[in-house]
Amino acid sequence: MAVSWRAVVLAALGAIPVLLVPQYAVVLGWALVVLLVVLVDLSLAASPRDVVVRRTVPASVRLTQPTSSSLVVTNTGARRLRGVVRDAWQPSAGATSNRHRVSLPAGESARLVTPLLPTRRGDRAADRVTVRSFGPMGMAARQLSADVPGRLRVLPEFASRRHLPSRLARLREMDGRAAVQVRGQGTEFDSLREYVIGDDVRSIDWRATARRSEVVVRTWRPERDRRVLIVLDTSRTAAARIGELPRVDAAIEAALLLAALASHAGDRVDLIAHDRRVRAQVARAAGPRLLPALADALAPVDPTLVEMDWPATISAIDQRLSQRSLVVLLTALEPAAVSHGLLPVVAPLAHDHTVVLASVADPEVAELATSRGSAAEVYDAAAAERTELERAAVTLRLRRYGVEVVDALPDDLAPRLADTYLALKAAGRL
């Protein structure tokens, strides 16, 4: 039950009789009048029990994209339903104007659309639908809430896709290039074409030139159908916030850009998210199905506050890979975590596969390192420098095992990882 402002006004109108006959009995009488009016209005209100609600939500939406959830409200009772319907969502679903006035004759339906603008990645759940049904005087209302299940999967924003066109252009440049400098065991013979000035003379195919009147060069295309496995660390280090977002969000952006680029380049991309067990995985999705599958798998991934189990992760990697592949570890270059967890077990992995470790650096540490204001800030700067030195030492040890290390700020990580991939591809090291 609920009352409206009209009931308050009605109670306040009692001032007139009370001023005319200043006695407590009049106040009591007026209170009874208000109670009676409220009860009569309440008994004439349509029952919210007879309201049937059906919810329609889009299955998924990309972060920062507006969408909407719609409720079809049907009044199956015998009276006209006047009142308010609230479509409650989690705050991060961004349901701002979710209260709808309705006036439904008996037996009719209305569609109420609640705009949603999600502010966080993951599964956003709808809460209860509340119906408040006022009586004909609008004094008092009956109110009822019920769960009407609804779930909106908010996919990662993939803001790094703006870097994709330039990287695809570089990929096309690699295609058909006379590839002497980049010739390696992985480059594949593509075709023969006429020599143009600027081509490396070492790529001239003399046998083909002998058969024809002009000079012919061999061209190469980048290797195709290699395997790329992206390993996303969802342990405690991924939970730390850098700027406004946890580290794992920057890692997801990088993973999506790399996957988009690699699938265009004709490579097969798989992914696992792992801390002490596999949290999410995408396997054998190719072509246009890859990115939606990745986004869907990564949307609900949240970091857990446990230590990364690197031996288990590496055995999970080994299960999925049979041939030499590119393994991208999206983790944090935390000196303690890496030197105790990853370093002891990375050697066999780096021997069997090409390993890239991509880490999200913290701009705050760099800022701390240059602060010179007071003695206190100099201590902070010294601590930041010490952290940097330890990171450098760990990076050095990883590189000795043959692991490529990409350490970049959150916004730069995705393009830097894509560039590293392109460089490895051009060098035929996949």
Least spacing, CB of residue 305 vs another protein, in Å: 7
Nearer to another protein, 81 or 422 (CB): 81
Q: Which residue has the tokens 């769960």?
A: 147
Please, what sign has the CA dihedral across residues 27, 32, 33, 35? positive
- Which are the contacts of 319, defined by CB distance < 8 A and separation ≥ 6? none
- Are the CB atoms for 112 and 140 separated by under 8 Å? no
Q: Which of 64, 66, 91, 107 binds another protein (CB under 8 A)?
A: 91
What character string, x for contact with another protein (CB under 8 A) and - otherwise, covers 180-219? ----------------------------------------
- Are the CB atoms for 84 and 101 separated by under 8 Å? yes
Nearer to another protein, 74 or 209 (CB): 74
Query: How many angstroms separate the CA atoms of 244 and 363, rounded?
Result: 12
Amino acid at 259: A
Least spacing, CB of residue 321 vs another protein, in Å: 31
Least spacing, CB of residue 44 vs another protein, in Å: 14
Stretch that binds another protein, among 130-138, 199-207, 261-269, 311-319 (CB under 8 A): 130-138
Nearer to another protein, 68 or 281 (CB): 68
Least spacing, CB of residue 306 vs another protein, in Å: 12
Terminal Cα distance for the chain, rounded: 68
Least spacing, CB of residue 338 vs another protein, in Å: 14
Nearer to another protein, 204 or 240 (CB): 240
Nearer to another protein, 242 or 308 (CB): 242
Residues 32-71 that bind another protein (CB under 8 A): 34, 47-61
Least spacing, CB of residue 128 vs another protein, in Å: 6
Query: What are the backbone dihedrals phi and psi of residue 212, each rounded to the nearest 5 degrees, phi first?
Result: -120, 175
Query: How many angstroms separate the CA atoms of 403 and 327, rounded?
Result: 10
Least spacing, CB of residue 48 vs another protein, in Å: 5
What character string, x for contact with another protein (CB under 8 A) and - otherwise, covers 13-32? -xx--xx--xxx-xx--xx-
User: Should residue 131 be labelled a site residue for another protein when binding is judged by CB under 8 A?
Assistant: yes
Nearer to another protein, 46 or 258 (CB): 46
Helix, strand, or coil (residue 369): helix
Q: What is the DSSP letter of 137?
A: T
User: Should residue 396 be labelled a site residue for another protein when binding is judged by CB under 8 A?
Assistant: yes
Query: Could you tell me the two tokens for 319?
Result: 């299960």
Residues 270-329 that bind another protein (CB under 8 A): 302-303, 305
Query: What are the backbone dihedrals phi and psi of residue 81, each rounded to the nearest 5 degrees, phi first?
Result: -95, 115
Least spacing, CB of residue 355 vs another protein, in Å: 21
Residues 237-256 that bind another protein (CB under 8 A): 239-242, 246-247
User: Should residue 101 be labelled a site residue for another protein when binding is judged by CB under 8 A?
Assistant: no
Nearer to another protein, 227 or 279 (CB): 279
Query: How many angstroms separate the CA atoms of 128 and 317, rounded?
Result: 42
- Are the CB atoms for 214 and 179 separated by under 8 Å? no
Least spacing, CB of residue 189 vs another protein, in Å: 39
Stretch that binds another protein, among 90-98, 185-193, 202-210, 338-346 (CB under 8 A): 90-98
Stretch that binds another protein, among 125-133, 178-186, 267-275, 320-328 (CB under 8 A): 125-133
User: Should residue 94 be labelled a site residue for another protein when binding is judged by CB under 8 A?
Assistant: no
Closest listed residue to residue 243, CA positions, set 42, 7, 413: 413
Q: Count the residues of the shown chain that bind another protein, applying the rule CB under 8 A.
A: 95
- Are the CB atoms for 17 and 106 separated by under 8 Å? no
Query: What are the backbone dihedrals phi and psi of residue 159, each rounded to the nearest 5 degrees, phi first?
Result: -65, -20
Helix, strand, or coil (residue 11): helix
How many CA atoms lie less than 13 Å away from 106 in the CB half-sphere?
Answer: 6
Query: How many angstroms separate the CA atoms of 310 and 186, rounded?
Result: 29
What character string, x for contact with another protein (CB under 8 A) and - otherwise, covers 350-389? ------------x-xx--xx--x-xxx-xxxxxxxxxxxx
User: Should residue 97 be labelled a site residue for another protein when binding is judged by CB under 8 A?
Assistant: no
**Residue 232: is it exposed, middle or buried by C-beta count within 10 angstroms (0-12/13-18/19+)?**
buried
Least spacing, CB of residue 164 vs another protein, in Å: 22
Residues 134-153 that bind another protein (CB under 8 A): 143-151
Helix, strand, or coil (residue 361): coil
**C-alpha angle with apex 337: 331 to 339, nearest 5 degrees?**
105
Nearer to another protein, 14 or 266 (CB): 14
Q: Which of 37, 45, 82, 86 binds another protein (CB under 8 A)?
A: 86
Query: What are the backbone dihedrals phi and psi of residue 116, each rounded to the nearest 5 degrees, phi first?
Result: -125, 140
